[in-house]
Amino acid sequence: MPKRDLSKEDIKRIVEEENVRFLRLMFTDIMGTIKNVEVPVSQMDKVLDDKMMFDGSSIEGFVRIEESDMYLYPDLTTWMIFPWESDHGKVGRLICDIYGPDGEPFAGDPRGNLKRVLKGMDEFGFTSFNLGPEPEFFLFKMDENGDPTLDLNDKGGYFDFAPTDLGENCRRDIVLELESLGFEVEASHHEVAPGQHEIDFKYADAIEACDNIQTFKLVVKTIARKHGLHATFMPKPLYGINGSGMHCNMSLFNDEGNVFYDEDGPMKLSKTAYQFLAGLLKHARAYTAVCNPIVNSYKRLVPGFEAPVYVAWSGRNRSPLIRIPESRGLSTRLELRSVDPAANPYLTMAVLLEAGLDGIRNDLTPPAAVDRNIYVMTEEERKEAEIYDLPSTIHNAIKALRKDQIMVDALGNHIYTNFNEAKRMEWAAFRQTVSEWERDQYLELY
């Protein structure tokens, strides 16, 4: 979505011309959930003057009740009008940063934390860290009460089209809605699994790309519901078929262009690209906790369903964690394939950038590329090639995160402490739950 340089007066004029009646102030909590404070336009001056307050103690992982006053500072470049809510007048949207009463950025705000980490590029003269996301999602039918079922909306497969792909009309409407909001949609197709879809949109700098992901999720869920469908970004909703990923295509730019590209380098990649790649590989086990943040994420990261399981890279092979797509020049990029759409995009980009910058700072060298199928290699062959496993559970991922101070610092103490505690409780609750699988396996046998 192209950013628009709007002044307060511009927004007031648009509100008047378009009959906008409500302002939706959006932000994202530590768990990646979109939060809203909706106010009537009578509060517009207060909103635009950064005086709109909310109770931070009501948001998981934010603050204790005795320090609950938080301020919403709207980013005017994120202004948009939602096209689907016009029964009582239109709704305008602004994405906000969170500030404390002291006028300082709130350390628990994921968007503000990413802005902090992005400043680390300055020492290298980098001007932007770009992200091209590829989010996948499933469409399930809803029952007569409007609750999601486990019935898929189609039996389509990769790149199928109607009548097999019954989600085509819904997906087309999503694309049209996104385009009306300024998204540049690059691809839209049915994915491998039945009921699974992917819509790719043009890369943008890290903050804007993360804003776009959150807006995208909102649009997908809203339009799906109009078609009587429930859209879910849960990584692995069904056993036995592919899960949903959100591959992240990353590139660094300076004033001269894409710093990952070098016409004379090996594979036409620059030394900086290889250093960044080495940093991503070095910290992979730790940042997995952030990029794959829920118990269910690890049901996707298993062999046989196209998701990566091993820490390795390749220019051709699709089984490793990191792939180098063939495009060069401005499009030179590294594609991290482990990330899933349950991830908080702001935290994800913070840890990935910090991992890459660590590789550059310390002049790290990646191991050799792996151009064969890792899934058929023996454990000894993998060890010899310096290929190790991603964590198999959120519990193991959190343990790896705890041991990696650079990744902890990328989150900041407030976010790390609250994220770690939330995940510890999530794992404890999951571990104590008795599943249907266990009853099927053991109830009669023992």
Least-confidence region, from 23-27, 55-59, 63-67, 181-185: 63-67
pTM as predicted: 0.92
pLDDT score recorded for residue 269: 93
- pLDDT band for position 388 (cuts 50, 70, 90): confident
Can you say which residues are annotated as belonging to the binding site for ATP? 186, 201-203, 318
Average of per-residue pLDDT across 97-116: 92
Question: Over 90: is that where the pLDDT of 396 sits?
Answer: yes
- pLDDT band for position 162 (cuts 50, 70, 90): very low
| Active-site position among 4, 13, 316, 318 | 318
Contact (CB, 8 A) for 413 and 61: no
pLDDT score recorded for residue 165: 47
- pLDDT band for position 373 (cuts 50, 70, 90): confident
Average of per-residue pLDDT across 87-105: 87
Average pLDDT of the chain, as a whole number: 88
Alpha-carbon torsion (96, 402, 290, 299), positive or negative: negative
Can you say which residues are annotated as belonging to the binding site for L-glutamate? 242-243, 300, 306, 318, 337
pLDDT digits 0-9 by tens, 170-191: 888 888 888 888 888 887 777 7
Confirm whether 184 is a catalytic residue. Answer: no
CATH code 3.30.590.10 region(s) in the chain: 117-437
Residues of the chain by 3-state class (helix, strand, coil), percent to 5 = 40, 25, 35
Can you say which residues are annotated as belonging to the binding site for Mg(2+)? 134, 136, 191, 198, 247, 335
Average of per-residue pLDDT across 351-357: 97
pLDDT score recorded for residue 157: 47
Contact (CB, 8 A) for 397 and 292: yes
Exposed/middle/buried for residue 91 (C-beta within 10 Å: 0-12, 13-18, 19+):
buried
Confirm whether 136 is a catalytic residue. Answer: yes
Confirm whether 337 is a catalytic residue. Answer: yes
Measure CA of the first residue to CA of the last residue in the chain; give whole Å. Answer: 58
For 117-437, CATH gives 3.30.590.10
Question: Over 90: is that where the pLDDT of 403 sits?
Answer: yes
pLDDT digits 0-9 by tens, 253-289: 999 999 999 998 888 999 999 999 999 999 999 999 9
pLDDT digits 0-9 by tens, 194-249: 788 888 888 899 999 999 999 999 999 989 988 889 999 999 999 888 899 999 99
pLDDT digits 0-9 by tens, 332-353: 999 999 999 999 999 999 999 9
Least-confidence region, from 27-41, 205-219, 315-329, 412-426: 315-329
DSSP string, 363-417: T--PPPP--S-GGGS-HHHHHHTT-EEPPSSHHHHHHHHHT-HHHHHHH-HHHHH
Least-confidence region, from 9-13, 127-131, 398-402: 9-13
Confirm whether 255 is a catalytic residue. Answer: no
Q: For a pLDDT cut of 70, what percent of the chain falls above it?
A: 92
Question: Over 80: is that where the pLDDT of 372 sits?
Answer: no
Contact (CB, 8 A) for 353 and 206: yes
pLDDT score recorded for residue 192: 67
Confirm whether 144 is a catalytic residue. Answer: no
CATH code 3.10.20.70 region(s) in the chain: 8-108
Confirm whether 123 is a catalytic residue. Answer: no
Confirm whether 198 is a catalytic residue. Answer: yes
Structural element, H or E, at residue 291 = helix 284-291
Confirm whether 256 is a catalytic residue. Answer: no
Say which residue, 157 or 266, is predicted with more confidence: 266
CATH number for 8-108: choose from 3.30.457.10, 2.60.120.10, 3.10.310.30, 3.10.20.70.
Answer: 3.10.20.70
- Look at residues 330, 332, 299 and name the one whose alpha carbon lies nearest to residue 315: 332
| Active-site position among 171, 197, 227, 247 | 247
Report the range out of 53-57, 142-146, 315-319 with the highest average pLDDT. Answer: 142-146
Confirm whether 179 is a catalytic residue. Answer: no
